[in-house]
A and B are shown apart, each in its own frame.
Chain A
């Protein structure tokens, strides 16, 4: 067997923190060949980025310590060469791009300067670097490339910034490109474009691509082989198809099982009375129209999903209904009374009936309040349940309802994991026995397996308590599993609405079609099939 282009062998890395030593990765081995795409798949805390950081010499020691292992590249052992030798290799032979291109580009220099620096740092003449930069920026599809080079990172969109990062990484024609969650912060349609670009460039240059991701869909779309990591260890490896269709390890099976978008589409229930009727809702910020003529109805016990990409106005819709922001125009009738024009005093009483669950529970729970204080605050505000004993009992009951322990009452939010925190936030919403819960990207910050549990909990509450949901999301898989009806938003407008079945099987608006096409399926076969038909179609 010929030697691979890059081989990581039995790598173990510890992190020494004030709270003790963490084994970040243990005995990790993988290799990648020229022209191949290897995906390293794992959830947060799995240690999936650590080996790549070791390859790039980006681990800070301390706190990190490389306990054992070897990394081979073209006959060199990368853990043994000098700092200077490693520096000469970085960017030239092995390049890397990151999740958040805004943070990873220096804000005070032009992108042109930063791209050119990739070559000048390795001693190439500046004229040559400029010519190459222009060529590559054109290649990655940035409009007006000459002007673009003189601009600063904040003047580009997220997708464009990632393209610029890719152009920078390719300046010296590296053998290997490591991409750490390159599309996680991007909208689905942009994600599809960036992945397609990476694929094309790999075919053109024949480089090896190491892609670190948490997303089965990305793996299915782009990877040849995949290694699955859990708690610092590789639990499974194989081709993307093998791993998806014949997972051997329990963790992989759990991960695949948790991927949303595979269950039956919900069928609309019997006609119910209208709870919320929104019409003509508008909101502008200066010249920017955030929300334009929004209209829909929500029935009792119904789940209405609002999907759209960032900046589509879906959060503004929720915030204006809740009067966190004042709408410019329009009405939102709650059981026949208009929330938008209602005086503050009356609104207070209605706040009890509509609750909200926010995207990031780390931020939506006051860090200085205990779980008991957090959950019981609503009663204090509304003067309910004056009896302390009864309150305590009810808080414990609610904690059990969201599958936490009654003994968690006196703990503080930072002592819980992300998924547990979101359950606390849900328990807080439930405490006031609301009729409607607005979920603003309530599961998108969570790992897939945790996300599945939280979704199951929400679904269960709907069945038991008859709660309605206004469910804002960008993940179409989650929406497909959960919603009765779907609104599709784009640039502040509702471009299409209908039953989940209708939207997913027969989308009418071109944007909806594009959104659905860009949504990645976790099954590599389905992705391959889509790619073939996609290529044949135009």
Chain B
């Protein structure tokens, strides 16, 4: 009987869906800038290799380790050249594709598999739940380095295999979150109401439980995208991830490491790209946590009435 509950005017602009969401995004400047940055990086990933693929691989021994901010060799060398005289800017843009492909692939795979088993573990009885959770424990404690080496040697170094390695290590995160949420949501009254109406298990899971937990999963996936990107770059850095001539930002940092004393920019720029992308994802995920929660959403909604 709290006094604040009744003060709830029926707002008209509720269900304009996408446009309302965009409006809310505009109001949070950090999140808005993050979204723009991520769109640009996405554009790099999609169009980069087609447009700059040749430039990024053309060696030029005279331009070896050429310093950044020197425009005498053309704008493409604005961030300098690498140890084989290739323009770093072009390589960064081209590398966006495999970096993003690995992270997106791993997150999507882990999300789907983790959510599926999480739903089963949360909704079914105790035995199924116990078995699934113990398996998740095992996967969680399996050293990802060893897994990467195993896959590298047995299946060979390729982007799909890299996705496989990273997806396996991330499944437990989605599995646990989904299960915890399901355990909570299935006790809610509207699920009971559906049971009373005679709804099947399938219907309860797909229509009543999944839509309620989906925003949480999407928020975590955004955050996890950043984490997977960092994990991929760590593995590439250690030499057990992506192998040349494929190229990711993490691999570029690793390749620049021997030249630290003479040409810091080789390792610096790709690392900065990772930071910028991960930071944008973090900021966007923070915003989504609020925007996708109906109980908190009002914080971001129009303040028109206050201004008037």
Contacts and interface: CB of A to CB of B under 8 A. Distances in A.
A167 interface: no
B306 interface: yes
A308 interface: no
B189 interface: yes
A289 interface: no
Interface string B168-196: 00000000000000000000111011111
Given A322-B196, A351-B196, A19 B5 contact: no
By CB atoms of chain B within 10 A, which of A45, A322, A348 has the most? A45
Interface size on B, as a range, is: 35 or more
A118 B69 CA distance: 67
Contacts of B308: 20
A432 B200 CA distance: 16
B17 interface: no
Interface string B280-301: 0000000000000010001111
A214 interface: yes
Contact of A19 (B3, B192, B294, B305): B305
Contacts of A352: 198
Interface stretch (A198-206, A375-383, A522-530): A375-383
A18 B197 contact: no
A44 B3 CA distance: 5
Contacts of B194: 366, 377
Nearest to B212: A368
B203 to A, nearest CB: 7
Contacts of A311: none
B19 interface: no
Interface stretch (B7-15, B59-67, B107-115): B7-15
A44 B196 contact: no
B154 interface: no
A478 B198 CA distance: 30
A172 B190 CA distance: 47
A45 B196 contact: no
Contacts of B197: 351, 355, 377-378, 381, 428, 432
Given A44-B6, A381-B199, A19 B189 contact: no
Contact of B14 (A184, A355, A415, A418): A415
B299 A365 contact: no
B2 interface: yes
A19 B301 contact: yes
Contacts of B299: 18
Nearest to A212: B3
Interface stretch (A46-54, A149-157, A506-514): A46-54
Given A181-B1, A412-B14, A45 B301 contact: no
Given A352-B198, A356-B196, A18 B303 contact: yes
A99 interface: yes
A417 interface: yes
Interface in A33-53: 43-50
A267 interface: no
Counting from the closest, the 4 A-B pairs by CB-CB distance are: A45-B6, A20-B305, A351-B198, A363-B189
Interface of A: 15-22, 24, 43-50, 99, 181, 184, 214, 322, 324, 347-349, 351-352, 354-356, 358-360, 363-368, 377-378, 381-382, 410-412, 414-418, 425, 428, 432
6 contacts: A24-B3, A45-B5, A368-B211, A377-B199, A377-B207, A381-B197
Given A184-B1, A364-B192, 20 more contacts: A15-B4, A15-B7, A18-B298, A19-B301, A47-B3, A48-B3, A324-B192, A324-B196, A348-B198, A356-B193, A356-B196, A358-B193, A364-B193, A365-B193, A366-B208, A367-B190, A377-B199, A378-B198, A412-B14, A416-B10
